[in-house]
Structure 1
């Protein structure tokens, strides 16, 4: 292999291919070129990563802020904190899509909320020493490593050579860089993990898995039916564009690769049958099913969050005609998979604007992604299309998770019935739905996905067909039409969440798994 790499590197005239080949050598600790040969063929970050792996000094002039930052780390010119030794296993978890931004902005969603609360719950336990959450830095000009106040929970912001936040299709070009930064930063800051947990089927997770291998850490991978299911459904009729098909195939390969490399594969909420259908290489007896959960609700504040739905704004807000109506609430990132425009259309076509108010919360306040802007534009156009609906729909940018939960509790305390309307194509689990159920709202969610593992239709919530405006509108109209008769469903929903999904209870099996993996070898799944 080394000789083949050497021949390929010395014969190629394609600098991009040369960069990829040299990074492959670095990752696998191969030395196809001497330091001088490498310097003669390439320049920039890929060369520096290779020289660093060989223990060679790097002397170069940076051509960008990102390169300066990289050289500063190589020359030990960055002021970074060093964590004291941990009293127990160190767990790293990655969240490279969305990061720790406000949930509902950009790509940040329910996983942001869950991983933050899970980390805090884990480090409060005596059997976990430390948790490190890995995210991408918002810009390529700084690197930050911070500890959460009062807890041994650290966040490492990994810089990438990009002026904008990375989307999944962009991750491949930055995979080697993410691996290098992560492995370097974790060692430099005394945060080297015993166990690393990844949750997306993409190049970001592959980069983190590469770092885990270099650091000698165990790897956990949360597997879902997607992207295999998505590939089969999206391209069934052969009309999708080639680029989209190629990317979906790439994600399938990434998922299969992570399954093969993981020391433990887990599923969300016990949805093993569908997972096994798409991953026949898995041993059902080796799979581990873990559920997600939510933190306790935040303390109330001295202002009415409901009143803010009526405040003046450039975006639509409620008026006095909506003051005593049941509210349909939808919270989350603005994305085609979340189907907020379909929800607005269903609300209008089912005539629900005549007897309910609709509140949609999500999206960035400024600098919206193309997905966010497209969804928002469609929502606003639909809101304007029906004059009788004006004053009965509110569209707000993302709120903090604490304020969303306070709003839900405030709504539930006013009677109702108020409904949490999850209009997504599917939800693998649904943290936002759990939060709404805990507050006492009636939960309505998609039949597709994983919500059926805790939502029993008609008993503690409702599963509806979200594939069309007609079916979604019919499902919502049925729930609203139940009126006071739906109160026991809301009570049962709240009990389900409080009995099964409190974050401290959910953290226990995660801690048990991590501790077992950290203690010794596990047969790979």
Structure 2
């Protein structure tokens, strides 16, 4: 093809997702041709205004094993453009160590963020060959840095240098009472990875005797020092499933706040359903659901996981920081990897690890699974590909501004992570989509027909018992019976509406307050036309008391449409996050109405830029509500256009508004419950949590059997 032709193909790609995929061809041509001319062409592309091409050219340079290419990439570590510094640090990870780049990589670690994570990752990879040089560089940097967070990152990096040279400084920092606690925590956590060294054990046992945060971390490090890879194991399968960015508990008390979205609900319901599934030939006896927690939580959960008692247990990974939104959580890689390794080793024989998202949790857990030889099942979806495509279509994302946005969203890294996880997984699970084979091929680059035995299509599912209880309570309230406690809370919220707005139907949506979920877009669509005169809008989700950065962004966008003090007067109700059972009852109330406050036949609205499947949508349909859903992804496979809902390009405010209006008209015109029954039947027949558990149990069994056969295979003697 030639380097210039490959560059032109990236520039002229019709879609951003095509350009990202074509960057692989560019890298191949660069590695094939090499030489001064190719390096000059790529350097020119990096210096240009096209940010996506500049990123592609940076990674293409990394495939040229030439001193000039090394120098060019190293210089990018000092670029004025932040996204180039990040991608250069990432690209250097595939190169041989360069002493002239070490100090600048350490500088990125000091700055922190995603760039600090990829720089630290490169330094870790290089430390196998240049341990002394990196350790001395990090210790030198510590002499001039006072900021505690920067010192934490440096000490954590020192802990990744797998050489005895780092033990003495780690012990000194851990025992320094004048040091910031968080910095000592980094040192103590790193000491747990050094094995049964007498000096380390003596210090950790002494530190663990206190009653403090540092003592909790010391106790975890002692677990790591004395970890054994084999304890008791149930007779059936043990499956671990992970979602880091949530506080997942059996009662689902945090759903809807921060990153605690539908996946938290799914993992709890699925874990319970897996152990209840009666297939004796492929029985899952233990499910370990892993999410974040404090160091103290982690100490307790290690003991619980290690008991090997059948059932559904919850393991906690201490991130050693305050909860961070998923887009900003990449610097937690090291802490997460240690926490996941600790839990999987304590479990004493995990048969399958199921990963679902291209985030720091999956990045870290995949490394652990490879180290411990645990088979991986990966649920692969075009994420962030679908988001990139939606932003591309809306004009918010282009080749010219891609790098600036990528610096926050890390689209390029996540796309590559999806490819890596899918390629290395023992089995991939996919959601139904209208054009699944095409989307996987064009968006993700996976040919499902190449190895069909490695892929399974498994729809998500919901617990119909939860929905049926919610529907029964809402119907009773509409019939004049006293409100249950959950619905009484809804009444209290509805009573904040002025008299002039009472008696209107409800538009309702449940979900995280994140740009991808489109909550602010729903508000804009509802308030911008006549919809606000025809219905009130209830949004269930978000931490309103202590909002995250993403939640603040969505709230600010809503306030720009309707100032916070005027929300109720205008018919906008923000309920904040609610436990799943309560949210289900409130959604059901939108169908039946609330006497004196809400008219029946409301509508559920999902305004997501993309929705891989849509747990909340399924729950709304099972409740009998008419729905508005994204025209693509999973919803397009189960929402029947103009029959059970309206599919719309949710990234377009005007078209979303039109769809919401049509949905209200359609629901209001219904004279019986036939359509509601059809919506419920759609879910009942195909999308229950029990059906999902049955399909996944077979997947886990097949993967385990294949792994056992591989381990037993012996190369025949010639």
* Alpha-carbon distance in structure 2 between the residues aligned to 1:389 and 1:156: 41
Q: CA deviation at 1:443?
A: 1.1
Provide the residue aligned with 1:109 in structure 2.
Answer: 261
8 Å CA contact retained: 2:429, 2:457 = yes
CA contact (8 A) 2:216 2:296 kept: yes
Q: Distance in 1 between matches of 2:125 and 2:665?
A: 72
1:156 aligns with 2:318: no
Structure 1 residue aligned with 2:443:
278
Q: Check 1:170–1:375 CA distance in 2 against 1; reply closer, same or farther (3 A cut).
A: closer
Distance in 2 separating the partners of 1:477 and 1:386: 26
Residues 1:93 and 2:256 aligned together: no
Greater fraction of residues in helix: 2
Distance 1:103 1:461 in 2: 25
2:522 is aligned with 1:343: yes
Shift of 1:360: 1.2
Match of 2:698 in 1: 512
Q: 1:312 to 1:324 in 2, by over 3 A?
A: closer
Once the two structures are superposed, the pairs formed by residues 85-234 of structure 1 within 5 Å of their partners are 85-100=233-248, 102-126=254-278, 127-137=283-293, 139-143=294-298, 144-145=300-301, 152-162=311-321, 164-188=322-346, 190=347, 192-231=349-388, 233=392
Larger radius of gyration: 2
**1:368 maps onto 2:547 in alignment:** yes
CA RMSD after TM alignment: 3.6
CA distance in 1, matches of 2:560, 2:686: 41
Local SS of the residue matching 2:284: coil
For residues 458-496 of structure 1, what are the alpha-carbon distances to aligned partners after superposition, in whole Å with 9 as ceiling and x for unaligned? 222210122232211111111212222485443322110
- What is the match of residue 52 of structure 1? 195
The answer as to whether partners of 2:291 and 2:316 remain within 8 angstroms in 1 is yes
* Runs of 5+ consecutive residues of structure 1 not aligned to the other structure: 26-32
Partner of 1:492: 678
3-state secondary structure, aligned to 1:153? strand
Assess if the C-alpha contact under 8 Å between 1:361 and 1:397 holds in 2. yes
Contact preservation (8 Å) 1:464, 1:471: yes
Structure 1, 407-416 or 334-343: larger mean CA deviation:
407-416
Aligned to 1:30: none
Cα distance, 1:218 vs structure 2: 0.8
Q: Does structure 1 residue 69 correspond to structure 2 residue 216? A: yes
1: CA distance, partners of 2:155 / 2:224: 29
Give the alignment's TM-score, normalised by structure 2.
0.64
Change (3 A) 1:470 1:197: same
Q: Does 2:398 match 1:236?
A: yes
- TM-score, reference length from structure 1: 0.85
> Residue deviations 1:56-114, cap 9 Å, x none?
95444669966533321343599x9x996323000000011223152111111111111
Aligned residue for 1:311?
492
Structure 2 counterpart of 1:10, from 101, 116, 132:
132
**Alignment check: 8 A CA contact 1:461 1:489 kept:** no
Q: Any stretches of 5+ residues in structure 2 without a counterpart?
A: 1-95, 97-123, 139-152, 172-186, 474-482, 594-598, 711-718
CA 1:83/1:322 → structure 2, altered by over 3 Å: closer, same or farther? farther
User: Greater CA deviation, 493-502 or 293-302?
Assistant: 293-302
2 CA distance for matches of 1:261 and 1:129? 26
User: Are 1:248 and 2:433 an aligned pair?
Assistant: no
Q: 3-state SS of the aligned residue for 1:106?
A: coil
Residue 269 of structure 1 and its aligned partner are, at CA, apart by 1.9
Where 1:226 maps in the other structure, the secondary structure is: coil
SS at match of 2:378: strand
How many angstroms does 1:399 deviate by? 1.3
1:337 and 1:92, CA in 2 relative to 1: closer, same or farther beyond 3 A? same
Tell me, yes or no, if the aligned pair for 1:326 and 1:357 is still in contact at 8 Å.
Answer: yes
Select 1:267's aligned residue among 422, 430, 436. 430
Kindly indicate whether the alpha-carbon contact (under 8 Å) linking 2:506 and 2:537 is maintained by their aligned counterparts in 1.
yes
Instruction: Please say which of residues 93-102 and 230-239 is displaced more in the overlay.
Output: 230-239
Question: Once the 2 structures are TM-superposed, how far is the Cα of residue 295 of structure 1 from its aligned partner?
Answer: 0.5
- Quick check: 352-361 or 153-162, which moved more? 352-361
1:94/1:387 CA distance change after superposition, 3 Å: closer
Seen in structure 2, the aligned counterparts of structure 1 residues 56 and 206 have a Cα distance that, compared at 3 Å, is farther
**Cα offsets for 1:339-384 (capped at 9, x unmatched):** 2222122112221121212111111142210221232243245334
Give 2:114's aligned residue.
none
SS of the aligned residue for 1:129 comes to: strand
Deviation at 1:183, TM superposition (A): 2.1
Q: Among residues 430, 433, 456, which one is paired with 2:640 in the alignment?
A: 456
Report the CA distance between 1:14 and its aligned residue.
3.2
Give distance in 2, aligned partners of 1:77 and 1:231.
Answer: 40
Looking at structure 2, the residues matched to 260 and 46 of structure 1 have their Cα atoms a distance apart, in angstroms, of 32
